[in-house]
Amino acid sequence: MKFMKSKFELQSFDVLPRHVGVIMDGNGRWAKQRGLERSEGHKEGANVFRTICEYACDLGIECITFYAFSTENWARPELEIKGIMSLLRSYLLEALDRKKENEEKGMRIKFIGDVSRIDKELQKMIKIIEKQSAKKTRTVVNIAVNYGGKQELVKSFREIAEDIEKGRLSSADVTPELIESRLYTPDFPACDLIIRPSGEYRLSNFLTWQSAYSEFWFSDILWPDFTIDNFNEALRAYEQRNRRFGGI
């Protein structure tokens, strides 16, 4: 299938991860360092998200998941939360406007997490965008909103427990494959590579199950300063990893 020509100078890799997870961290600190409101950091971070998203798609990465808003982020100041949701609204409107371009790129857009807590209008827009791009197969872009890895596992376990209570399953039926089938990502490969800028060295409740055998790439770069070169650096590091999955 022929796709839209890339506007980027694409690097060549011998090995690419099928699924990349990105923890977009450091927006607030980036703004603070410059004497700006935290919302300005989130705006700049959203621009970086768009760039990396498009570049990953043009490279042909099968799936990329961005951690946009966690279940814990509701503890942030109300004004900051409103700003993040406003940026989400802007992204959704942009995605609707760029429907044709995204289709030509072969980009499928999905949202993972419990979106029932966010604004009803945003929920409707999410459903429209997911439906519009559902048949695209080149790259899946997962945007994690009101997402938490522990919460995702609880969701899976509750659904399985309900089926056991109703006699549709027995405890002997519970396997890793069954648990995975009830996660937000049942159709996607496990996460091969997780990228976290900003100098933090933790998962922060991101893709808890899917990251069981992930490779990690950490950097002190704050997300708004993250570039395609940095993304390529992470992919080069992944290319050199010896993934044994418990073997020799």
Cα-based angle 136, 111, 11 (whole degrees, multiple of 5): 55
Active-site option among 14, 25, 229, 242: 25
Annotated catalytic residue, options 14, 27, 73, 242? 73
Tell me if residue 25 is catalytic: yes
User: 167: which DSSP letter?
Assistant: T
- CA 181-186-191 angle, to 5 degrees, is 120
Residue 185's contacts (CB-CB under 8 Å, 6 or more residues apart) are: 65, 112, 142, 210
**Is position 173 annotated as part of the catalytic site?**
no
Helix ranges (H only) for 4-110 are 27-33, 38-59, 78-97, 99-105
- The H-assigned helical ranges of 136-198 are 149-165, 176-181
Say if CB 43 and CB 30 are below 8 A apart: no
**CA end-to-end distance (rounded Å), the chain:** 38
Catalytic residues: 25, 73
